[in-house]
Amino acid sequence: MQANLDQGLISDIAIEFFDDPLGFVRTSYPWRAPSTSLEAFDGPDEWQADELRRIGAEVKARRFDGVHAVRPIRLAVASGHGIGKSTFVAWLVDWIMCTRGDAQGTVTANTVPQLETKTWAAIQKWTALCEFGSSFRVTSNAMRHRFRPQQWFCTAQTCREENSEAFAGQHAKTSTSFYIFDEASAIPDKIFEVAEGGLTDGEPMIFAFGNLTRNSGKFYRITCGSEQHRWLHRSIDSRASALTNPDQIKEWLEDYGEDSDFFRVRVRGLPPRASELQYIDQDRVNAAQKRPVETLEDDPLIAGVDVSGGGSAWTVCAFRRGKDARALPRIRLTGEQSRDRNVIVARLADVLADPRESHRPIAMFIDSAFGSPIVERLRVLGHKNVIEVNFGGASPDPHVLNMRAVMWSRLKDWLLTGAIPDDPQLEAQLTGPGYHIDRANRLVIESKQNMAKRGVASPDDADALALTFAQRVAPFRKKPRPPSTSAPPGSGVLWG
């Protein structure tokens, strides 16, 4: 009985809002409801309303009858930061799922953290607010109709090339097969290509959103390049949205300038003039994750430690032996654990005094911002191979702003031949920071503060790995074993 009632409700919604996504959004969520997150909002922002109208017009023009396949709806929005893209994605998912029985969808984003904590989290939030959302069960990676879970669903998938098969075979001949790509600049072309195979029947749709961090790749081509004629596309300046922070944008304008690559990408919704805004490219990181490497016997084990000041940042100790950053697993302490400096000192002292020679770092480089007292205490304990590094310190290279940029530059070069763990968190952090060239023609790596302002997590693990490039470290030389001394059998005396 409940299934019939549920099916009837969905049918009524489909009839009323099948070609009216704006009407669905205005009707389905509790705008202005007291004591809710929507208490201060009347409805969608102007750009969101415009795009919902445009999608509705495309649906009307195709007049899908449930039998004969129609042309795919392809929509791409390049924009600055903070205009409400993840929210828009959630509305699209709810509208399609609630108005099209047996719809099948896939949602992806440039990184696992982006997908889990922003894109899919927005879908969970808005479906819970949706008047008709109770017809679906939403988990951490899927949204399924309660009574037709195998036929009527939307799933979250990572966009790594080796996961491309997850985007294949999605067909809904009598309904809608849809794909949504968030932060699409960094999504591999291969994923787009495989997704196109799911746009051959029914009423297919594909949507792509993001900052234009590259002036190459599929997202660039569909918004600014050779394939834009096949897509509905638009660039949105963050200053045109009521949802953005004008004080933050003003600060970026003063720091970077209107026509800097940073401002073009993060505010104006335009591609960078340089090849890409992100300092370390995705392809370089992916290759380092897959690369087999061998270390030399005299390659020193080096540790880099990025110390947390508390809060959401972590204290991370990363290890590297020559071309191998998989040598030992990283040590990670939460911001809360890091509040007690004795905890950090004790953990690092254990590392420096490890009885296993292969696990004992020849040098440990520690960021001085919150790490100065840690360095001092470790030296008092007798560890003379601990070196303090000031991220903001003077650079030995006149074309690089500071020591942080020096270390990241060395890390970027090393990734061409080095190997890193296949870790989505480290991957996202390595590709997270942007960069620019300042007025003195020096390389500047985007600060943690600026990354936080645009909603990107602190790159603690990546900074820790970068610290292993602070200085050159001499090759490791094993201490010669002392000459053997005779001992009574069974005495237990060992040397070495």
Same domain, 71 and 166: yes
8 A C-beta contact, residue 277 and residue 435: yes
Return the CATH number at 452. 3.30.420.240
* Residue 277 covered by a domain: no
Tell me how far apart the alpha carbons of residues 115 and 86 are, in angstroms, rounded to a whole number: 10
* Residue 16 covered by a domain: yes
Q: Which of 178-187, 223-232, 377-386, 479-488 has the lowest mean pLDDT?
A: 479-488
Same domain, 50 and 135: yes
Q: What is the mean pLDDT of the chain?
A: 91
Same domain, 13 and 65: yes
8 A C-beta contact, residue 405 and residue 437: no
Q: How far apart are the first and last CA of the chain?
A: 78
Per-residue confidence (pLDDT) for residue 167, from 0 to 100? 94
8 A C-beta contact, residue 211 and residue 78: yes
Tell me how far apart the alpha carbons of residues 347 and 343 are, in angstroms, rounded to a whole number: 6
Per-residue confidence (pLDDT) for residue 58, from 0 to 100? 98
pLDDT tens track for 349-378: 999 999 999 999 999 999 999 999 999 999
| 489 pLDDT above the threshold of 90 | no
Per-residue confidence (pLDDT) for residue 2, from 0 to 100? 42
Same domain, 215 and 344: no
| 471 pLDDT above the threshold of 70 | yes
Q: Which residues contact 141 (CB under 8 A, 6 or more apart)?
A: 120, 155, 156
Same domain, 244 and 311: no
Q: Mean pLDDT, to the nearest integer, of 10-36?
A: 91
Single out the residue of 299, 297, 295 nearest to residue 475, CA to CA.
299
**DSSP-based three-state secondary structure for 315:** strand
* Residue 257 covered by a domain: no
pLDDT tens track for 77-93: 999 999 999 999 999 99
Same domain, 222 and 287: no
Q: What is the pLDDT confidence band of residue 481, given thresholds at 50, 70 and 90?
A: low
Return the CATH number at 120. 3.40.50.300
Tell me how far apart the alpha carbons of residues 153 and 160 are, in angstroms, rounded to a whole number: 21
Here the tokens at position 179 are 């794909």
* Residue 490 covered by a domain: no
Instruction: Give the range of the structural domain holding residue 301, as residue numbers without chain letter.
Output: 282-467
**DSSP-based three-state secondary structure for 317:** strand
pLDDT tens track for 49-79: 999 999 999 999 999 999 999 999 999 999 9
* Residue 260 covered by a domain: no
8 A C-beta contact, residue 252 and residue 268: no
* Residue 376 covered by a domain: yes
Q: What is the pTM of this model?
A: 0.82
Q: What is the pLDDT confidence band of residue 483, given thresholds at 50, 70 and 90?
A: low
Same domain, 323 and 436: yes
| 10 pLDDT above the threshold of 70 | no
Same domain, 131 and 11: yes
Same domain, 80 and 198: yes
* Residue 186 covered by a domain: yes
Share of the chain above pLDDT 90, in %: 79
Number of domains in the chain: 2
Q: What is the pLDDT confidence band of residue 480, given thresholds at 50, 70 and 90?
A: low
8 A C-beta contact, residue 171 and residue 135: no
Same domain, 6 and 91: yes
Q: Mean pLDDT, to the nearest integer, of 160-171?
A: 89
C-alpha distance from residue 60 to each of 63, 91, 207, 345 (Å)? 5, 19, 18, 65
**DSSP-based three-state secondary structure for 331:** strand
* Residue 256 covered by a domain: no
Per-residue confidence (pLDDT) for residue 68, from 0 to 100? 96
Beta strand residue intervals within 393-441, DSSP E: 435-437
Per-residue confidence (pLDDT) for residue 496, from 0 to 100? 23
Q: Mean pLDDT, to the nearest integer, of 133-148?
A: 95
Residue 201 CB neighbour total at 10 angstroms: 15
Same domain, 213 and 317: no
pLDDT tens track for 120-132: 999 999 999 999 9
Q: Which residue has the tokens 């040590």?
A: 331
Same domain, 241 and 342: no
Tell me how far apart the alpha carbons of residues 205 and 92 are, in angstroms, rounded to a whole number: 10
Q: Which residues contact 162 (CB under 8 A, 6 or more apart)?
A: none
